[in-house]
Structure 1
Amino acid sequence: MATKIYAALLRGVNVGGSRKVPMARLRTLLEELGLGGVRTYLQSGNAVFSADRGDEESLAAEVGAALEKEFGFPVDLLVRDGAYLRAVAEACPFPAADLEGRQLHVTYFSAPVDPDRFAGLDRAAFLPEEFRLGDRALYLYAPDGLGRSRLGEALSRPALTKGLIATSRNWNTVAKLVDWTDV
């Protein structure tokens, strides 16, 4: 199997002082699994690595098991290859080049999402905030940032993400991960 470059997107670590996963230890842990070229970005659980085995799902399971063994709690995560990350960025329905990174977010999902899941949201009630669905991704335009986004809060309700792993990144992180996984 040819070597591919992947990003691991950890969900819910290093937020509010709980579920701590130090990035230096994450890098070492990934290297101990035999993954190469390991780099981490920010403290929010973004790692890039190369692998010549497995696929997104098996690598996520392997990394997740190692994280739980090391830190004593389960960590939901997604692993996505560089081609997928680039395709998501290129498919962005909003003018990313004209926006600040804090205004645009991508939520990556573990599986395709049926638009009917969001049918009950009154999109007009949240304007100028908007969202659009992509391939296992949701794009959120929040002009005042995610921290003040009423739509972002509504989209994160457990009923809307039930049965899925969902983890969000702002556009600056999306772009950095694309850059680091681009081959």
Structure 2
Amino acid sequence: METYIAFLRAVNVGGRTVRMDRLRELFTALGLDGVRTYIQSGNVFFRSAETDRAALTARIEAGLAEGLGYPVPVMLRTVEEVEALVALDPFAGVEVTEDVRLCVLFLSEPPPPELVLPVASPKGDWEMIGASGDAAFVVMRLRGGRMNGNPATAFPKSYRGQATSRFFHTTAKIAAAARKA
């Protein structure tokens, strides 16, 4: 049995509120084992013997859409994959201040090959400094205490993938909590 982490997009933002006990119910109803959630932003750990990740992702997305009444894109990773991502230390050398946030974009597909990194927003709100496999690393700069801009706009319109972001320090905590699960 593999332990997976499902990073859900657009959960508990934009008026789409989902209680974590409801998410656990939906995942359990799909026949997944040891279902746990971590904080309120749509992080679910579970175990499954399913080896076809695309099929498992599609099954989870269908179950969430049916149970919640709207689509929820899922970026599925193993604990080992998330630990390896954290171990890359992609933000080494980035000075962290009270106005800087380090984020991981979990992608449903690898970044497009024509994406040239680093790339920054015209206003300097964010800078995508690197990518690895199916993740991108973004430095967000707060303006007036708020994060602005969408780093996914760096991808060309031909990119058909989905993305969801997590703070880097939260990603490390998610991996550690999933390892204990």
- Scaled by the length of structure 2, the TM-score of the pair is 0.81
Cα RMSD between the aligned structures?
3.2
- Which residue, out of 15, 19, 24, partners 2:21? 24
Structure 1 residues 158 and 67: alpha-carbon distance in aligned structure 2, compared to 1, 3 A threshold = farther
Quick check: 1:157 aligned with 2:153? yes
Match of 2:80 in 1: 83
The CA deviation at 1:137 is 0.8
1-structure distance, mates of 2:93, 2:19:
30
Once residues 127 and 32 of structure 1 are traced to their aligned partners in structure 2, the CA distance between those partners, rounded to angstroms, is 41
Structure 1 gap segments, 5+ residues each = none
Of 64, 68, 73, 1:71 maps to 68
Greater fraction of residues in strand? 2
Q: How does 1:1-183 map to 2 (within 5 A)?
A: 3-17=1-15, 19-95=16-92, 99=96, 103-118=101-116, 121=119, 126=124, 129=127, 131-144=129-142, 148-149=146-147, 153-157=149-153, 160=156, 162-182=159-179
Q: CA deviation at 1:8?
A: 0.6
Aligned to 1:94, the other structure's residue is in SS state coil
Paired residues in the alignment total 177
In structure 2, the CA distance between the partners of 1:158 and 1:95, relative to structure 1 (3 Å rule), is: closer
Q: CA deviation at 1:99?
A: 4.4
Which amino acid is the alignment partner of residue 30 of structure 2? L
Write the distance in 2 (CA, Å) between the matches of 1:179 and 1:99: 22
Q: Which structure dedicates a bigger proportion of its chain to helix?
A: 1
Q: Which 10-residue stretch deviates more, 8-17 or 101-110?
A: 101-110
Runs of 4+ off more than 6 Å = none
Query: One-letter code of the match for 2:69?
Result: G
Q: Is the 8 A contact 1:40 1:47 kept in 2?
A: yes
Give the TM-score of the pair, scaled to structure 1. 0.80
| Distance apart, 1:4 and its partner CA | 0.7
Q: Which moved more, 1:68-77 or 1:112-121?
A: 112-121
- Indicate how the Cα distance of structure 1 residues 8 and 125 shifts in structure 2: closer, same or farther if over 3 A, else same: same
**Runs of 5+ consecutive residues of structure 2 not aligned to the other structure:** none
> Identity across aligned pairs (percent)?
32
